[in-house]
Structure 1
């Protein structure tokens, strides 16, 4: 695990009147996993802290069935995200036991859940579907928000590099890996059962390509990271040891396993006998313990600091101060969470929260509504600043200016600066921003992003929202970098940069990635000075950009424009005919542009224009050109004008380009 976090001023979580009273739950003494380390995760200690009952947590369990009416679960008001629930009685016991570990109600029967006050929901894997597991994961993603936790209670069959059939975590298959990576990219913490295959996950596994690859070995070039917290299982007895044996009865292990907990003898709810069992087991039993710990952590942070941890922060912190197994080098299970160690070590009070604004007024909270991609904190200049902090930083007078960037000159050198703030409780050490560029487009699909490099900060980014400017990042603009868009993904040692979404993400999910992650920002602004054309008495501007289809499927889009130009300005969208046909754009007589295959579509300079709506094929891309002509007499001194082209899915804006004009 990473090293110690530097000290900082922080408030230790208060010890309010006890929020959980386990003593009147007659079977809580059977829940050894609640006890102090090394036996358990010390949930009992966390319950004495503000937020330690999980009241600010939210969890969705993905599996087949549950008995939500169980007497020790009914008052938890657990609901499905994809109703109605189908009956799958042979799986009901499993799901009921999983939920009990987390949500058993603090009443006077049975036991008590680790995060008993957290919000609980379930996403059911429907039988008879082409891929019920994938559908259930996406149903959960679509219902969840930043900071919530998804529990994957599924394992899949696979083949080891030695030809042995084993049970593996779901992410060995591309479709599940991409779904989990998308979830973590959107700010959802994923807890994934590591599987009961008794397999060394460091070794090669046959994957979708038909080749054996070491995709779960962090030290191998084939490794790929979904961002999920992967859970292994140990003996319940102390010292904890890896549960070994044949596939189906033993935990998987390896350096991909982040944390572990009990694989056996777990007391929880059941549908059998008296409604409880002391025999729930497997990584299916270990994963809810870890999930409960994660929910408690998120709840304490929310209660004391007012924000939620990112998925990678949760993964980093959940094993700090944890309990090692008897033989860590042999067991390869990571550590068991120790909530007392995490709380008393003040790790939950000291995370930085680095953010880059997506627009002026952005305060670092997850955003609702459209993403404007007008970040004032991505600054691209034609000349290098002699003193970036004085010119662009706190006290410069330019803190809220979104017009600091200059037009791009293809083939020429440019100088990039990233600004960031930190609203967390500790300085952001070793802060950075990875910067990308792509051709101007209405949808910023990740496969088109081209990495420029990493902008580092000259010192730790301090707390209290002090606007801090990075060191310069030099960029030689390629000759084809006309009208580029820029993306910044920031991070620090204790606030890791988020994983980017998979290339198969939908347009809506890409927009959500920018909206939900406060350390991700885009600048899709084409800055230009209107150039006077003397012979016409007008100022003319042209810019090329692409209208994109989604990368994952044929998708119905609408295209709109909104102008803030002088009324007598003339605006034309020059679009290829395959786009006009796809979006049902009616063409007026004489609309054909010079040259075959394109048409000129007039747009209103000072109002909204519904350009068209229709289905764009998967991977569709159409090169368009915007032409703006403004009569000289219409221009005001020091005037700033804008024009926006935006793309929507079912009324939700998923991308835009802003054209910003000065004279």
Structure 2
């Protein structure tokens, strides 16, 4: 259940406005790199056609340095020996960096074992909303039920694009307010498909008398697959399809340097994808355009404040700095950790409510948390199964996978309620509100609240009502 590894090249180029000089320099560098590629390989500009970039960046804080986005390319058509090709490209004078990104995975909790029930689905699906405790009032949930009583509180007018691998938009509880897949080629893997279906249900499952109800059911949800374009191009594609105040959700993580970038079943050492230069640039591009980016922090059990992440890998451009440090290097995204649901949820106890789950990454860079266990939503089939996936539901969606859509749903409710106030749609303002409000993280044995995953959102508190 992994996406292909990706070979990325960054050419030299000054941070300046996009003009004739920058375009000529970029064309020359691109031609030089293309000539050095093995047969059948080609360069694909991550930020699209150069003549469209000035318009997309006009009026943003990235316009004065927009030429930097011309420098990022994915190398397509190389199936084997990616590391060898990257090493060869790094010897080219036109190349500032060349590196291989390991396969990305959906950040569902490690070793999750949800198994579809073989029992036939009933003629009419029961109403499972009572099992969705994350909809409840704070501090147990995010107070989505209160938000639904307010004008716009079901996410009206908010558009969301989910970036991962596959979805089942024919599901009975995803018939409304969804626009399908708008980029990439969805994987045929059932793990990706169930994962995307579960994410979509959490955010915008339909309002009806059966199944689940999404946190922000009037928000429109679409999807971009990383299969084909890769993660950074997928983020850029989503950003170009959205407007200020809309939301991108990145449901991916990948193995980091702690364990030599190796894919592992236990996911130890996995980190948020913003650490890689092209993904970082794509997220900055999106937030500069006013799009709110919400990103899974990853399930590696990692302290993202560790000095390890300050070390620049040899293939990264010399200009790269660790985005987990925030400040000038900040991506602008909302980073989400995984917290425990209230003890007793579905008969389970994962520790004190809102305490860090052991697999969740943590650190000062993380902005907010969501439930990382016991999330009831569409997909997987352990709660209701049968032979037709369109009627599948789960009680066991997990990981920073299940936590991140909870934060997205809370933001969509908040944005719908405050839609007439431009300030509330600013990515920096939204992140500040998540940090300033919400139900506080708690201590667990061996996992103190100093291992930061942030607060669980509280929509009512974000809106400013008691």
* Aligned partner (choices 430, 445, 450) of residue 330 of structure 1: 450
Aligned-partner SS, 2:183? coil
Structure scoring higher RCO (CA < 8 A, sep ≥ 6) equals 2
* Cα contact 2:255–2:261 (8 A) shared by 1: no
Structure 1 residue 307: deviation in Å? 7.2
Give the corresponding residue for 1:286: 403
For 1:54, the equivalent position in structure 2 comes to: 155
Tell me, in whole angstroms, the C-alpha distance in 2 between the residues paired with 1:193 and 1:84. Answer: 22
Q: TM-score, normalized by length of structure 2?
A: 0.62
2:378 to 269, 282, 285: 269
Is the contact between residue 296 and residue 404 of structure 2 (CA under 8 Å) also seen in structure 1? yes
Q: Give the 3-state SS of the residue equivalent to 2:369 in structure 1.
A: strand
Label 1:286 to 1:207 Cα distance change in 2 as closer, same or farther (>3 A).
farther
**Aligned partners of 2:428 and 2:456: how far apart in 1?**
17
Task: Tell me the equivalent position of 1:38.
Answer: 139
1:156 Cα deviation from its structure 2 partner:
1.3
Kindly indicate whether residue 320 of structure 2 is the aligned counterpart of residue 216 of structure 1: no
Q: CA deviation at 1:92?
A: 0.3
Pick the aligned partner of 1:121 from 222, 227, 231: 222
TM-score scaled by length of structure 1: 0.44
Question: Once the two structures are superposed, what CA deviation does each residue of 1:317-353 show, in whole Å capped at 9, x if it has no partner?
Answer: 123321112136433111111112122448xxxxxxx
Distance of 1:263 and 1:169 partners within structure 2: 16
C-alpha distance in structure 2 between counterparts of 1:53 and 1:25, whole Å: 22
Q: Quick check: which one's helix share is greater?
A: 2
* 49 and 163 in structure 1: CA distance in 2 versus 1, 3 angstrom threshold: closer
- Contact 1:158–1:168 under 8 Å retained in 2: yes
Q: Secondary structure of 2:428's match?
A: helix
Question: What is the Cα deviation at residue 132 of structure 1?
Answer: 1.6
Residue from 193, 201, 207 that aligns with 1:106: 207
Alignment-derived partner of residue 316 in structure 1:
432
User: Counterparts in 2 of 1:62-461, with a 5 A limit?
Assistant: 62-82=163-183, 85=186, 87-126=188-227, 129=228, 132-160=230-258, 166-203=269-306, 204-205=308-309, 206-209=311-314, 215-218=323-326, 224-237=329-342, 238-244=352-358, 250-272=359-381, 273=385, 275-302=392-419, 304-305=420-421, 309-327=425-443, 329-345=449-465
Task: Name the SS of the counterpart of 2:300 in structure 1.
Answer: coil
CA gap 1:25/1:151 in 2 versus in 1, 3 angstroms: farther
**Counterpart Cα distance in 1 of 2:137 and 2:284:** 33
The separation in 2 between residues aligned to 1:44 and 1:77, in whole angstroms, is 21
Unpaired segments ≥5 residues, structure 2: 1-124, 263-267, 343-351, 386-390
Distance in 2 separating the partners of 1:286 and 1:102: 11
Question: Using the alignment, how far apart are the partners of 1:68 and 1:161 within structure 2?
Answer: 36
Shift of 1:298: 1.2
User: Counterparts of 1:25 and 1:315 in 2: how far apart (Å)?
Assistant: 36
Please list every run of 5 or more consecutive structure 1 residues that lacks an aligned counterpart in the other structure: 1-23, 245-249, 347-663
SS in 1 for 2:281: helix
CA distance in 1, matches of 2:258, 2:450: 19
Structure with greater strand percent: 1
* Whole-angstrom CA distance in 1 between matches of 2:174 and 2:312: 39
Deviation per residue, 1:509-546 (Å, 9 max, x gap) = xxxxxxxxxxxxxxxxxxxxxxxxxxxxxxxxxxxxxx
Q: Which residue of 2 aligns with 1:408?
A: none
Q: Please say if residues 202 and 214 of structure 1, whose CA atoms lie closer than 8 Å, have aligned partners that are also in contact.
A: no
C-alpha distance after superposition, 1:559-588 (max 9, x if no partner)? xxxxxxxxxxxxxxxxxxxxxxxxxxxxxx
> Which whole-Å CA distance do the structure 1 matches of 2:140 and 2:315 have between them?
42
For the residues of structure 2 that align with 1:331 and 1:180, how far apart are their CA atoms? Answer: 25
**Contact conserved, 2:355 with 2:441, CA < 8 A, in 1?**
yes
Given the superposition, is the C-alpha separation of residues 161 and 87 from structure 1 closer, same or farther in structure 2, using an over 3 Å criterion? closer
- CA separation of 1:140/1:340 partners in 2, compared to 1, >3 Å: closer, same or farther? same
**How big is the alpha-carbon RMSD for the aligned residues of Structure 1 and Structure 2?**
2.5
